[in-house]
Amino acid sequence: MRSRPSRPARWWARPLILPVLVAALGAGGTAAHASVEDTEPPSAPGPITVVGTTANSVELTWAASTDNVGVAEYHVTQIFTDVAMLHRTPTNSIVITGMSPSRTYTFGVSAVDAAGNRSAGPPSLRFTMPPGDDQPPSTPAGLTVDAVGETTVDLRWGASRDNVQLSRYEVLSLTPTGSTVVGWVYLMPPAYPRTATTVSGLAPRTTYRLAVRALDEAGNASALSNVVTVTTGPAPGCAARVQRRGAEVWITVRNLASTPVEGWTLSWALPDSPRIVAIWNAALVSHSGGTVTARNLGWNATIAPGATLVVGYLVTGTHLPTAVALNGWTCQPE
């Protein structure tokens, strides 16, 4: 007897499909559609305008944005130097407080919808608050000289303080008839204050009286700091050492320059009363008016960089030479 064939497997699966079809049908017997995600940003707001100010606040407004669903809020950015703040408002205007007189701020605005889409922004607005600050900064203190070059001077001082915001320091060169600004230190951003600078462009071998003052954003200037007096270079080109051995005096001069001395004249201060009896390694030119002058011989006219010249003389009296100079430049003691 033949056995009856088994039913196909798909016959058993068919009842399982029906609940899925029913669940996919809406009340009207058609498939339900999922909601469409909002990806369209609002339109850009209109230009930002200032409609009012007080000593410490500003009121801004702009033309409202439009959106396919609806604008949820506006984001307003406020920037001063390197400090940025974000304000939120549901309307197309805002009053921002905590402002400072005479400061310049930059404002921007954008619209945001409920889905988080952000609009483009109109051109930013740069606005300076009305003046109201008449208090000058405190006086810079402790001005000192760090280094002096041929045309430069390195200065350092103590920081000033201000009730609103410092803007810059100015270095002034003082003369009997007035003053000239010869250096600036701008304090922007204010988070990195600087109280040192190198003044450049000075004249060589010139004496300057320098002072520093602070200015705030409203243009108020502090009193001048202490005054320092400096004389620009060049740096000493020679060093001299003086030794006495009984009636003999020896002068050793070192060339500190990076180039050789080709031919030299050596001078030093010595009263006229002592008499030079003899001199070696140099030719005596004159001894009058309290100054001795000698020049090179044929064999020692060149002094290489770092090399030394030794001149000796026999003298009556006990005076030692001072103010030794090589080719007119006073040598530093060694």
pLDDT single digits (tens) 239-291:
999 999 989 999 999 998 878 999 999 999 999 888 899 999 999 999 999 99
**Percentage, residues of the chain above pLDDT 90:** 66
How wide is the angle at C-alpha 214 spanned by C-alphas 217 and 99, nearest 5°?
25
Mean pLDDT of 74-91: 93
What is the predicted pLDDT for the residue at 159? 94
Which domains, and CATH codes, for the chain? 49-128 (2.60.40.10), 141-231 (2.60.40.10), 238-333 (2.60.40.290)
Residue 89: CB atoms within 10 A of its CB come to: 15
Residue 269: CB atoms within 10 A of its CB come to: 15
How wide is the angle at C-alpha 211 spanned by C-alphas 207 and 216, nearest 5°?
150
**Residue 173 identity (one-letter amino acid):** S
pLDDT exceeds cutoff 70 at 144: yes
What is the predicted pLDDT for the residue at 10? 40
| 331, burial (CB in 10 Å: exposed 0-12, middle 13-18, buried 19+) | buried
Q: Which tens digit of pLDDT belongs to each residue from 208-241?
A: 999 999 998 888 999 999 999 998 877 668 999 9
Asked whether the beta carbons of 333 and 241 are under 8 A apart, the reply is yes
Asked whether the beta carbons of 318 and 271 are under 8 A apart, the reply is no
Query: What phi and psi values does residue 12 have, to the nearest 5 degrees?
Result: -75, -25
What is the predicted pLDDT for the residue at 235? 64
pLDDT exceeds cutoff 90 at 192: no
pLDDT, greater one: 33 or 129: 129
pLDDT exceeds cutoff 80 at 93: yes
For the entire predicted model, the pTM comes to: 0.48
